[in-house]
Chain A
């Protein structure tokens, strides 16, 4: 495969920006915000987002090309909420919402609910440890098929 080194470097910078902004602001930046930050055209950022999505480093919203997931973060509200230092973040699933304090290296209060009965569930990550809590994590889709439909999964 012929890969343009300049595009690799650009995509790495875009990825850094997306994660940096997400970690600071709680949600991924838009194409327009990313373009403005890089003095780039929106089309260049859209292309970069697409390359990052093809490499499974981002998941894009189907109709707009905006970021849907910068895993573990979700750009849209989900039932998996993490509160860190007074800021609210959304994860894509129970694994991802636990990934938020793992990525931020911070304590977190995680609020979610049972996928079966809807009972609320609160988890606490403190000093890098999960405080004892009742519950399980259920994975519906076999690992080999996770990326077949990552939004469903």
Chain B
């Protein structure tokens, strides 16, 4: 196993808001696509191999 990745608590909070902010009770809610997650990670500066999704 790799040693993992470390992010700041503020980055973790930003990530939490991005993923869990949208209301999952509404019918149109869906999980983010791989492409959307890649974009989110890139916007947050998570560009290392660890964050690669495919």
Are A143 and B41 within 8 A (Cβ)? yes
Q: Which among B10, B13, B21, B49 is the interface contact of A103 at CB below 8 angstroms?
A: B21
Cβ of B42 < 8 Å from any Cβ of A?
no
A1-35 contacts to B (CB < 8 Å): 9, 12, 15-16, 19-20
A139 x B5 contact (CB < 8 A): yes
Which interface class (under 10, 10 to 19, 20 to 34, 35 or more) fits A? 20 to 34
B20 x A57 contact (CB < 8 A): no
Bound-state CA distance A140–B5 (Å) is 7
In the complex with contacts A16-B26, A55-B31, A95-B6 CB distance below 8 A:
no
Residue A135 interfacial (CB < 8 Å):
yes
Top-4 shortest CB links A-B: A99-B20, A98-B16, A137-B12, A130-B13
B contacts, CB < 8 Å to A: 1-2, 4-13, 15-17, 19-21, 23-27, 29, 31, 37, 41, 49-54
Measured CB to CB, the residues of A under 8 A from B are 9, 12, 15-16, 19-20, 55-57, 71-72, 94-96, 98-100, 102-103, 123, 125, 128, 130, 133, 135-144
